[in-house]
Amino acid sequence: MESLKLSFDAVMPIFILMALGYLIKRLNLCDKKSFDAMNKLVFKIFLPTLLFYNIYKAESATVIDVKLMSFTVITVLAITIIGYFCTIWTTKDNSRRAIVWQSMFRANYAILGIPLVTYICGENSGALTSFMAVIIVPLFNILAVISLSRFGSKNEKINIPSILKGIITNPLIIGSTIGLIFFFFKLELPVVLEKSVKNISSVATPLALIALGSEFVFTDIKGYVKEIIVSVSARLIVVPLIGLSLAILMGFRGEALACLMIAFGSPLSVSSFAMSQQMGADEKLCAQTIVISSAFCLVTLFLWIFLLSYLKLF
């Protein structure tokens, strides 16, 4: 019963905020332009501030788990390689392959990571999740560029300087990096500024989830059924099953395992859509994969949390 309560308490706040975003959109209280602006604010200001604040407030260097980060990188790379061959085998159209392959490895870690880990592990958690973002966000972006360069209609050669520029200028990386500087050098913000940063960071999660819920428009599914089934099943069931099984065998527990659950089992990243548009992948398939995986993750994450909690791994 305790495991069921933990699962419910973790997932329901996310469901309510996403449902609120969908309801606001349906009632025409905000138009698409307003939600697009909201998404931009979340990505450029609120989430980077949240990552900075969590790292800044971390109490010790023990949150820098080298074993966890190494395991995550190696496992994501292995899943990416295996996913490439699975994509070739299951999907024929190259523009669709670009999306299916991304679905194998690219998760919506930044938006769902911190709230879920906090709900599962308590209010004082979140620092490790933010440290993980420093590794995971650039890794996902690099692999996404590779997949789009391989299968997008704009088959451009992989531009390493462009990739590096994209990583360096990514607001999430900037926020995390500044947080690391303050953390390692033990720098302190003035009390007034720290309170302001805390207030700004507290807006990030609800605003991000409301904006995500506004994207729930189930159209253009016809003609993409096979690709959506493959993508969503891989993202929410197959990849977390493999990744979490390996993680448990490696001895990861508690907050570290919760971080891995998000890295392996959260929906396709929202930022995949803009990149797909720019590099000639099937943007309609990408949009529907994001929407459907985001909707179904409420069920699958509930089940993963319940199972891991029942096994006393949290």
Q: What percent of the chain has pLDDT over 90?
A: 52
Contact 15, 305 (CB under 8 A): no
* Domain assignment of residue 57, given as a range: 2-310
Residue 45 pLDDT class (50, 70, 90 cuts)? very high
Q: Does the pLDDT of residue 154 top 90, yes or no?
A: no
pLDDT digits (tens, 9 = 90+) for 293-303: 999 999 999 99
Place of tokens 């089934």: 229
Mean pLDDT of 87-108: 94
Which CATH number covers residue 66?
Answer: 1.20.1530.20
Mean pLDDT of 55-65: 75
- pLDDT of amino acid 143: 92
Burial (0-12, 13-18, 19+ Cβ within 10 Å), 41: middle
β-bridge mates for residue 268, sequence order: 107
pLDDT digits (tens, 9 = 90+) for 205-249: 899 999 888 888 777 677 899 999 999 999 999 999 999 999 999
Count the domains in the chain.
1
pLDDT digits (tens, 9 = 90+) for 158-174: 667 777 777 788 888 89
pLDDT digits (tens, 9 = 90+) for 259-287: 999 999 999 988 888 788 778 889 889 98
Higher pLDDT residue, 113 or 305?
Answer: 305
- pLDDT of amino acid 107: 93
